[in-house]
Structure 1
Amino acid sequence: MSRPQNLRKPFISFGNPFRMISPKGLSLPPKLVALLDSFEETLTEKLKTLKPRDGDGVLSLSWMTSALEALCAIHTEVKSLIAALELPVSDWDGKWIDVYLDNSVKLLDVCIAFSSEVSRLNQGNLFLQCVLHNLDSTSAVQFTKAQSSLDGWRQHVSSKNLRIEKCFTILGQLIDTLDLPRIKNSSKGRVLMRAMYGVRMVTVFICNVFAVAFSSSSQKLVDLPAPEACLWAEAFTEVQVLVNGDIQKIHSSGKVTGVKELEAVDTIVKRLHTLVQQGEDIVEVEALRSSIKDLGKSSGELTQGLDFLARGIDGFFQIVLTGRDALLGKLRVGNDVSNTMQQHNHVKRQVVR
């Protein structure tokens, strides 16, 4: 399936997926309606927290960390819903289980890719520390070393992480599974599938934004259509328009990195590079001192922001992994250990390795 890389066109067009979940004339018991409404209202509130704040772009590390916190809360909430539904795993359709396990492996891969990128960006801080150390002196030798470190940082930041590039393929595969199978004779099953659909929509959306932020390219933004039947549809659409719009503005302005804290450091690095090239005959001494101070502050904020983001990614990884393990454990207890389950155990060991 071809996927146009244009914000105005979604990767896929699947109409209203709930035409298969809620057949005409089939209603849910009041208790299940209350459970579903409560979940979707919570999902709506979490989506509202993703709206960009004044003066703080969507591609700031603080926003990305907050987005991960919201995503973790949503995944935790759906676990609570599953418990409240009291739907035994033995009643789950085999296709539901396969889709869940396949998607969880893909999400673990995405988390690993994001972690590798955060680690790579943190490694770039070594160049910045060398710059600050060498600019303690105004000798020609130290200026030369500082210039080399500045060049090293820019080359490091602009290099590509192949794992991030692969994320877009994985996300495309997750989008392909958003269309849900027909649910027959199971009111609880319809509630579960609808709730999990909402979680998957938000998960793909946020992960795509992260991948775009790390790849410094807005060409692979997705525009996912939210079914009107969902209580969270309006909030999802509004947030998606705001976030994707902000990202397009950031990249259309010609910024190198996209991520706010990285861009701040890059701006100072450019300024310092120009000043350092003047060597010992530098005339803008105050500008040099000011830039050195700014670099120390901005690099510190970058390091702190990346540390918080790394913890958030690890937290999400653990939520996905424990949810997957819990399902596999219930299957094992229920003596429903199929070849599929054994294969997924093997896949999990490969991913976590």
Structure 2
Amino acid sequence: MSRPQEPQRPLFPFGNPFRSISPKGSKLPQKLSLTLNDFEESLAGRLKALEPKVADDVLTFSWLTSAMNSLCETHKDVKNLISALELPVCDWEDKWIDVYLDISVKLLDICIAFSSELSRLNQGRLLVQCGLHNLESHSPKQYIRARSSLDGWRNQTTSKNPRMESCFSLLDSLMGSLDLPKVKNSSKGRVLMRAMYGVKVQTVFVCSVFHASLSGSTKNLVSINVANSFLWASTFTHLLTSVNSGIRSRLASGRAIVCKELEAVDVNIKELYPKDGVNPDSVDGT
């Protein structure tokens, strides 16, 4: 009499946390699997390129620009993947469309907030340029104008942008929506949801770093655990750890301004202001 076979032990003793993306027993057709692998490998390479050589190199406008460009490329990739899947919008389930629209609206609001802060920084740059121009003169009146411009810069760096404050709730909401809808009977749907998970993770990460660098707050730095089943998981985990530790270390040192370029401007202004000790009351006119 043959011995009864022992029941197969599950891979995840407490249940598969990623069953909503890849249900048990599902296997993607080869063409879809290759399409998904291409997307995930591209994402892994893109994340690898963002790894800073030095931890706080991330706190520069050049890194932030690279990170935002990288995110834009990932969004382009998912659009191309949707086209490659040949999955018409009319075949999308309502919950997929809701997820896509919800991400898009929140991301738009975050981008508006960032654009508002960059506009403020650009106004500050003009104030600094105006101040430096007036300092080239030997006229006390021009020195007073320079002091006024530099005062404007210093006031701006210490003030808060209400739109940036609104990013807190938006990023929290995006973090809370990382879980994707369950996909039962659509291989193409599973590929789409898995790819959208990668887009959402990179989006939340880049936006959180961007916000921390401009606001000087670590409140929205994210901590995301990505399963090893994703080809880009280890690269992302290493990048996340390196970037977050660099930002926290810099803020812990007592720096009020996180971004390196902004801090350099602020240090130089403090050194030359007031440059000559001119008393505005001793000069007639403006």
How far has the Cα of 1:19 moved from its partner?
Answer: 2.3
Give matches, 1:1-353, under 5 Å.
Answer: 17-54=17-54, 57-273=57-273, 276=275, 278-279=277-278
Paired letter, 1:39: F
Aligned to 1:303: none
1:35-85 CA deviation, whole Å, 9 max, x = no partner? 111110000000011111349711211111111111111111111111111
Paired letter, 2:80: S
Contact 2:23 2:184 in 1 (8 A): no
How far has the Cα of 1:279 moved from its partner?
Answer: 4.2
SS at match of 1:18: coil
Contact 1:17 1:180 in 2 (8 A): no
Cα distance in 1 for partners of 2:78, 2:126 equals 41
The alignment covers a number of residue pairs equal to: 265
* Gap change, CA 1:82 and 1:232, over 3 Å in 2: same
Contact 1:18 1:229 in 2 (8 A): no
Paired letter, 2:126: L
* Gap change, CA 1:56 and 1:217, over 3 Å in 2: closer
How far has the Cα of 1:16 moved from its partner?
Answer: 6.5
Aligned to 2:9: none
How far has the Cα of 1:256 moved from its partner?
Answer: 2.4
- List gaps (5 residues or longer) in structure 2: 1-14, 280-286
SS at match of 2:156: helix
1:236-293 CA deviation, whole Å, 9 max, x = no partner? 101001111111122122222211111111110011115x15449xxxxxxxxxxxxx
Paired letter, 2:143: F
Contact 2:55 2:242 in 1 (8 A): no
Cα distance in 2 for partners of 1:220, 1:94 equals 30
When normalised by structure 1's length, the TM-score is: 0.71
* Gap change, CA 1:151 and 1:27, over 3 Å in 2: same
Cα distance in 1 for partners of 2:262, 2:100 equals 35
How far has the Cα of 1:171 moved from its partner?
Answer: 1.1
SS at match of 1:124: helix
Greater C-alpha Rg: 2
Deviates more, 1:94-103 or 1:216-225: 216-225
Contact 2:55 2:243 in 1 (8 A): no
Point out the structure with the larger helix share: 1
How far has the Cα of 1:177 moved from its partner?
Answer: 1.2
How far has the Cα of 1:131 moved from its partner?
Answer: 1.5
* Gap change, CA 1:261 and 1:172, over 3 Å in 2: same
- List gaps (5 residues or longer) in structure 1: 1-14, 281-353
* Gap change, CA 1:55 and 1:195, over 3 Å in 2: closer
Contact 1:61 1:259 in 2 (8 A): yes
Cα distance in 2 for partners of 1:82, 1:220 equals 30
Cα distance in 1 for partners of 2:139, 2:80 equals 63
| Identity across the alignment (%) | 56
Contact 1:168 1:208 in 2 (8 A): no
Cα distance in 2 for partners of 1:67, 1:167 equals 18
How far has the Cα of 1:145 moved from its partner?
Answer: 3.2
SS at match of 1:168: helix
